Amino acid sequence: MEIRPYQPKDYERMHEICFKTSSGFDSEKGKQILYLMYCDYYINEEPESCFVAVNERDEAVGYVISAPDDERYQRIFKQKYAPNLKKLSLYRYLFHYAGEFFARKVRKEYPAHLHIDILPEGQRQGTGTRLMDALVSHLKERGVKGVHLGCGAANAKGVNFYRKYGFKEKAPFFGGITFFMEL
């Protein structure tokens, strides 16, 4: 697997990875909600903070995407993405802002946040570590002092990966865990 910066040709494949690595978004409306919440902002607004793992055919099999400044993310998301999310699902809209409430507690010290998804064909090969290394290096170069993320408490593989990578944990919330790491 090669790790490289996001390229516009990766857009559709990243949507596909986002969908295949999620659950509970099975309808067409669900896909739109999923992409609004976990993909489109990063690709459209912060493409320089997106990295992909590609196979020998240069097809993305995983990615890590980030908003280096969570306050900027919240401002732009509220303005450009939240209205569509609210139209599609009031529940997901409220869920997003519940997560934002918990992020407020860590974003001053850990202002960046991230999402990482890898298809099974790219897992258990160090791909996640290499994607994280690329993102962490990028964030450090930009002077970002820390990063946080949310993970479902039932996602044992994800929880173990973040712990092993060096993330610390805040108290669980709504079935999830807020992880954070100083850079």
pLDDT value of position 175: 75
Quick one: 63 exposed, middle or buried, by C-beta within 10 A (0-12, 13-18, 19+)? buried
Express each pLDDT in 111-124 by its tens digit: 999 999 999 999 99
pLDDT value of position 180: 93
Whether the pLDDT of residue 139 is over 90: the answer is yes
pLDDT value of position 23: 80
> What value does the mean pLDDT take over residues 130-153?
95
Instruction: Give Dmax (Cα) for the chain.
Output: 42
127-141 helix and 156-165 helix, angle to the nearest 10 degrees: 50
What residues pair up with 50 in beta bridges, in sequence order? Answer: 65
Express each pLDDT in 58-110 by its tens digit: 999 999 999 999 999 989 999 999 888 888 887 676 666 666 666 677 888 99
44 CB-side CA count, 13 A = 13
**Does the model's pTM come out above 0.85?**
yes
Q: How do the domains of the chain map onto residue ranges?
A: 2-182
> What value does the mean pLDDT take over residues 28-34?
87
What residues pair up with 151 in beta bridges, in sequence order? Answer: 177
Domain 2-182 classification at class level? alpha beta
